[in-house]
Structure formats: structure tokens, C-alpha cells
Structure 1
Amino acid sequence: MKILFIHNVSVWGGSLRSLHETIRVLASHKSISEIHLILPNCEHINKFEKYAKVHSFKAIPQYDTTEYGKYSGFRKLILIRELYAYLLFCIDFKRFKSTQCHFDIIHFNEIVSFNSISSVLKKAFPCSKIVCHVRSLQRQIGFPHFASSGLKARADALIVIDDCVESTINKEFHYKTHIVPNIFVSIEDNDFELRTRDQTEELRLLYIGGLNWEKGPDRVLACAKLIKNRKLNVVITFAGIKESNKNAIRKIIDFTLNILNIRKSIRKKDVTKFIESNELEGKINLLGFQEDIRGLFCDHDVLIFPSRLNAPGRPSIEAMSCGLPSIVFSNFGSNIIIIDDETGYNISNEDVDKLVDRIELILNSPDRLEKMKKKSLLHFRELFSEDIHRNKILEVYKEVLKN
């Protein structure tokens, strides 16, 4: 099989890391003859060159159909940027097409890029089968007609990362939908040691997500305030906070986007001010970007991820790989990642008080925590092995090629 992957952003985030892991395990399989990757210009291209032929584009447009990406009010201005990105893409794609004649599979790593350019790809490679990865919850109300028509006409298969995402896919597409959880780097037993907490010690909570508003840093701060009020022996590590090195123009742009509600953000100085004004020194530790993410997990007891994305998120699974249970905000209850009272807790209705209730429950039950740690590690190894992931992806490819 000759496969073309397409990814729309250059940030080394969860979706790009998951793509790297997928390409890595597919590249060594005997049924794969070539892997190509279209990616925006970025510093991470060299990470893929060992496994795929990388084609660097100036831009790849996207149209957001997620629950949290509605183009309303001033956010409609973003579409001007996407139109410009579309023009740049077409120029680069014309050059790319002159060097390629056929692909068996075209795999969009995000539905947002499928929405914007799948018609271009299908016209250029009419015999190719198109697979679309869906990694985020889709809109239940106001899903664009053109996007729905595109899925119906051009997507031969949809791959969703969990049952939460699947529940937001229109039922008319369920016959072509497959659940394939993201793959994660394998971890051997002797690579780390689980932290054992004595009941007299503080409970160490870890939050990873930086100051990205969608990940819920403001909710973590509210959680810390409640923990202090309840006089709980709990410490929160706030990881991934980067020092701002933006110039004055960039800061003005970010401030304007925040005011217009186009892109919300929280500044480090706001976090520091909140800590000082609420006397939370000693209750919150601020850390910058961490290379040794595994060491960070192994030094904590529980991950908290109160995001606005209404899904467990990649940090929850990475934590699970080191035996950490997670407490997340999700209205879907138990799912294939977070099994309530076994690998963590799902908090519905974005209730910070309930989040603190679960933290207090774990704080006062060391035996419960140890059982959840062991179950989390076991669940990770059963669900996210490389062989399982690769075989499921290949099954999807083989199925669409038969039809």
C-alpha cells in the first residue's frame, strides 16, 4: 500500500505526536510500500523523515466543525486567514501533483483539513480511498451541510479516537466509523517506578496543559482555592507554563483576539497574581516545559484535566501509561479511557466542587488510590499496544480497498 497522510498544523501537540507514532509503526509493516506526508513548514519535519517522504507546504487550510470552533461574531474573521491558506495550498499542491500519480490511501489526520481540501485531493487522485481521522467532538447543532455532504461523498472511512467522539458523529455515517484509540510509546516495567503515598503525605496532583484556555487552567486555580478552604493536604503542580517571549506587536494581537473572543488565553502573571491574592503559595507549584514527562508523572499521584473539550484528552492516557489515574471533565460518564472508580473519574457539568469532592475521596483512601494506579497501568497496556493499534488501522485500510 502507498499511503498519503495530511496534517494541517505544525504545533507538536497531541494530534501531531499521535500521527508520528502511527506512521512509525506502519512504516515497518510488510504491507506498506511507501508513506508520504503533507505537512506545513515546521521544525518537526525531521522527526518524520526516517519513516516517510515529507512534503512541506506553506499552509494547509481548515474548516472547524468541532463543538468549540463555531464561526460566530468576530471569529468569522478567521475564515479570511483560511481562504489565504487555501490559495497557498493550491499553489504547493500543483507542484506536488506533478510528482505523484497515485495513492492507495489518503489519510486526513484531522477532519478540519478534510472539510477544506478533500475535494481537491479526490479530484487529483480519483481512485484513491480516503480515510478521515476525527479526534474531537463534533457539533450537534449547526453542523455545516457542505461538511456533511463531503463526508458522505468522499470519506470511505472515519476513524474516531474514542466512544465519546463517536457519539457526536451523525448516525448516517456510523456504518463507516471505526474506533481506534491513539497509540502511545510503549513503556517497559523497569522504565519507571510508581510513587507510593503514605496517608500522612500530601496528595500530589498534576495538571498539564499550560495556559491554554480550552484545557481549563482557570478551573485548576478555582480547584486550588477550594482545596485551601477545605484545608486538604493537597499540592497541585501546574506544568507546561511557558515564559512569554513575544514582541510588542504579537502581544497586542493576542490581547485583541482575547478581547474579541476569537482566541482566549490566560497570562502567567494573572496566575501568579491569583496565587498571591488567595495565599496559595505552597499549594500550587508552577513549572515550565518539561522534557522528562515520565519523571513528572512518576512523582505525582493523580492527573487533573478539567478541560472545556469535554473529553479525557491525551494527557490522561499518557498519565495512565505511568499508572496515574485521572479526574477529567466529561459529560459522557465512563468510557473506554476513563472507567469511573477504576482508572479515574469523569466529572459532568463542569463542576469544580465535584472535582474537589473526588480529590478528597482519593486523599482519604490510600488503598483506593493504589488500586486505581494498578488498574490504570493494566488498562493502558491492554488498550494502547502498538500491535493492536497497527492492526486496527490496517484493517480499516484493507476494508476500504475491498469496496
Structure 2
Amino acid sequence: MKILYIDGDGPFGGASRSLFEAVRALPAGSVEPHFVASRGTALDVYMQVAKDYVSTRGMTKFDNTRYSHYRGIRWLVLLREVFHLPFTVAALMKARHRWKDIDLIHVNEAVYIIPAMIAQRLFRVPMVVHVRSLNQSDLRSRRTRWLVDILARRAGAVVAINENTRATLPASLSVHVIQNSFTAKRAPKPDRHVVEKLDALRPGSLKVGFVGNLHHSKGLFEMLEAAKAIREAGRDVEFLVVGGVTTEEKGIKAWALARAGLAQNVQSELAAQIERDGLSDCFHLLGATLDIKCVYDRLDVLLFPSHYDAPGRPVFEAAFSAVPSIVSVSKPFADTLVDGETGIAIPAKDPAKLAEAILHFADNPDEVERMGANAKRLAESNFDPSTNARKLLELYQRVLQTA
């Protein structure tokens, strides 16, 4: 079975890691993966599992996600989408010329529905659409109605990564929930830079950490405010931030993204704020690493104070290391977070509640162990790579049988 995977995310992040894990775990010989992807670290990783690939400078999006849908100044982002359209078409036409017998298209995120539609017209095969982000769910919006209509008519199957994401799609739309996966293994070659920083942490301190790309929407500055409150409370807590900045753009494109709030030099802002607040002894920027299991093994509690109102990949990744989480989510679903059992749910943009949750673990170390053990059981049940890969393969087969 030859599958064309489409992904326009250049930096290797949560969505690309999820696709890589899924493809790598598919039964041997069941799929020949072919990729059309934007140049960047994500493509570098995809090349480990790809039969063949076509790269592109960028890929056109249609963004109707809850956080970054077009509104106000964000309409400027359409300049980026128009700019990327010729590169998108050229890459897909190159793929069509090179690969004559693709069986199925799998687009890694619904924001890339336009490239998926172009690919479907070129290859004349069914497609599977992954929905990895919370979407705008107001059906009074013409954009929302258009996207739902395309998914209903053009997609052979729609896959949501968890029940939180599924809840933002209409109940009338047929959606399969297949959780993401994580291979809980250390990297073959340790990241010495990160290991040295981890070794320098204070024995006996509570280690709480964030893992992911750095952006204001991830709640990093709420973490700084919480760190100040905890320092004033006299607790020995160290904060770790593991991740890098989003892609740096230049020229008019950079200006438009900055005006829209989609490109920010968060790492420099964080470093400056840490210095101003005198938090350098307890708030550490470790940078990005591929040896992520090494980080989780050294954490006591994972922090995910995102503004997105959903648990991200790090929540279940850390759980494989028996690490509970503090997550900004208003309505947690039991497939990812059980409040008070596998972690603690808090409101978004609330540093006081974040500090309160951290203090709960600092003052009750037995809770770290109890909730961590529960989190690990949940992760092993829901996020096993081989189990979820089999579910995905079965879905591919059903789509092809009914096409």
C-alpha cells in the first residue's frame, strides 16, 4: 500500500513527531510511505521512514483552528498562504510525475486541506485527514461550514487525536479517535549539553518542566509568574524549559507574522525576564533536544499551561516516565487527563492557580508518586505505538475497500 503523507510544518514539533511515530510503528511491509513536506527538521526526521520524498519551500494552509484562525490583523497571514501556493502546487505535481500509483493520501493536519485537495485531484485517490488541533466549532461561520463540508464530502476518513479535539468537530461528522503514540526510549546518543544541565540541578528540589516549541501561547510567562510566587513561598522548586523557537522568517513575511502574533522571539524575551526577576537560580532554559526521554526521566511534574485549552503530546510522553502533569484545560477528557488522578487541571492564563498546583506537589511528594503511577498506566493503555498503528492501518484498509 503506497501512502502519500502531506505535512507542511517545517520545524519538528508535536504534529510531525506524532506522524513520525505512527508511520514508524506500522507493521513491517504494510505501507510504503511517500512524503511531500516542507523543508526543515521535520523532513529530516521523516527521511528516516520515507520510501521517497519531495520537499517544498512552504505549504499553503487554511487555518480554522481555535487559536490561530483568521481574524483582525491575522488576515495578513493570507499573504503567506498565497506566497506558498506556487511552491505547494509545484511539489505536488512533481510528486505526481514521480509516483504514478499512490493508493491513499494522508494529510497530517486539517490546516493543510488545500494541498490535500490538490493532491486528491492529481492522484484521484481517497484521503484521510488528521485533525490534531482544536477547531473553531461555530457553525454560523462560513469558514467552519466550508471545512466541515469538505471533510464530509472529500475525506474517506477523519481522525481526531483525542476526545478534546473530537469535541470541537460537529457530532454529525463521522470521526475516528486514534490517540497519538510515543516510543519511550532514550536516544542512541545522549545529548551531552542537556545532560550536563540536568546534572547541575539541585538534589532534593522539585523539578517541574515544560517541553515544546516556545511561544507566548504556551503559557511560558505564566510559568515565570508562578516561579516568583513559589520563591516567595520559600519552596525549593526548579523550572525547566526544553524547546526552541518557531521558525524565524525575514522581510515582509516576518513583518506580517509578527503583526499577527504568530512569530515571536520568545526565547530572548524569556531570558531577559528571567534576568530582570532574578530567577536564574531556579528557572532554566535548556534548549531543544531529541533526547526527550532523558528529560522526562529527570522531571517530577510536567507543566502544560497552554492557552489552547487542550492537553498536548508532552502530557502523555512524560506519563511514560511516571510523571504527572499540570494542564490548562477546562474540560479534561479521561483518555488524556484524569483530574486529581493522573495530574491536575487548571484554568488557562492563571499563574496563581499554576503556582497553587505546583505547591500541592511540593508539599505532598507522595502525590507525585501516586499520580505519576496512574499517568503511566493511562499512557500504556492509550498511547502504545504498535496498538495505535494497527488501528491506523485498519482504517487505511477500510477506506480503500469502500472507495
Task: Give the TM-score normalised by the residue count of structure 1.
Answer: 0.86
Correspondence for 1:74 = 73
Q: What does residue range 2-401 of structure 1 map to in structure 2 within 5 Å?
A: 2-26=2-26, 28-32=27-31, 34-42=32-40, 44-51=42-49, 52-114=51-113, 116-126=114-124, 128-141=125-138, 142=141, 143-173=143-173, 176-187=174-185, 201-209=204-212, 211-240=214-243, 250=250, 257-258=257-258, 260-263=259-262, 265-401=264-400
Contact 1:186 1:385 in 2 (8 A): no
Contact 1:240 1:289 in 2 (8 A): yes
Report the Cα distance in structure 2 between the residues aligned to 1:390 and 1:256, rounded to whole angstroms: 39
Contact 1:241 1:287 in 2 (8 A): no
Q: Give the 3-state SS of the residue equivalent to 1:171 in structure 2.
A: coil
Deviates more, 1:150-159 or 1:82-91: 82-91
CA pair 232-44 structure 1, distance change in 2 beyond 3 A: closer
Q: Give the 3-state SS of the residue equivalent to 2:98 in structure 1.
A: coil
Q: Which amino acid counterpart does residue 131 of structure 1 have in structure 2? A: V
Offset of residue 266 of structure 1: 4.9
Report the Cα distance in structure 2 between the residues aligned to 1:76 and 1:169, rounded to whole angstroms: 23
Report the Cα distance in structure 2 between the residues aligned to 1:229 and 1:210, rounded to whole angstroms: 28
Contact 1:60 1:86 in 2 (8 A): yes
Offset of residue 46 of structure 1: 4.9
Q: Which amino acid counterpart does residue 23 of structure 1 have in structure 2? A: V
Contact 2:76 2:256 in 1 (8 A): no
Contact 2:13 2:42 in 1 (8 A): no
Offset of residue 251 of structure 1: 9.2
Contact 2:23 2:389 in 1 (8 A): no
Contact 1:186 1:386 in 2 (8 A): no
Contact 1:159 1:180 in 2 (8 A): yes
Correspondence for 2:189 = none
Q: Give the 3-state SS of the residue equivalent to 1:98 in structure 2.
A: helix
Deviates more, 1:97-106 or 1:323-332: 97-106
Q: Which runs of 5+ in 2 are unaligned?
A: 187-197
Offset of residue 303 of structure 1: 0.8
Q: Which runs of 5+ in 1 are unaligned?
A: 189-194
Report the Cα distance in structure 2 between the residues aligned to 1:293 and 1:272, rounded to whole angstroms: 22
Offset of residue 253 of structure 1: 7.2
Offset of residue 133 of structure 1: 0.3
Q: Give the 3-state SS of the residue equivalent to 1:287 in structure 2.
A: strand
Report the Cα distance in structure 2 between the residues aligned to 1:256 and 1:2, rounded to whole angstroms: 38
Offset of residue 204 of structure 1: 1.5
Report the Cα distance in structure 1 between the residues aligned to 2:263 and 2:370, rounded to whole angstroms: 38
Report the Cα distance in structure 1 between the residues aligned to 2:238 and 2:40, rounded to whole angstroms: 37
Offset of residue 255 of structure 1: 7.0
Q: Give the 3-state SS of the residue equivalent to 2:359 in structure 1.
A: helix
Q: Which amino acid counterpart does residue 121 of structure 1 have in structure 2? A: A
Report the Cα distance in structure 2 between the residues aligned to 1:154 and 1:57, rounded to whole angstroms: 24
CA RMSD, Structure 1 to Structure 2 (Å): 2.8
Report the Cα distance in structure 2 between the residues aligned to 1:110 and 1:355, rounded to whole angstroms: 30
Task: Give the TM-score normalised by the residue count of structure 2.
Answer: 0.86
Offset of residue 311 of structure 1: 1.3
Correspondence for 2:192 = none
**Larger relative CO (CA 8 A, sep 6+): 1 or 2?**
2
Contact 1:209 1:217 in 2 (8 A): no
Offset of residue 202 of structure 1: 2.6
Report the Cα distance in structure 1 between the residues aligned to 2:213 and 2:152, rounded to whole angstroms: 37
Percentage identity across paired residues of the two chains:
28
Contact 1:304 1:327 in 2 (8 A): yes
Correspondence for 1:191 = none
Correspondence for 2:194 = none
- Aligned residue pairs: how many? 384
CA pair 90-215 structure 1, distance change in 2 beyond 3 A: same
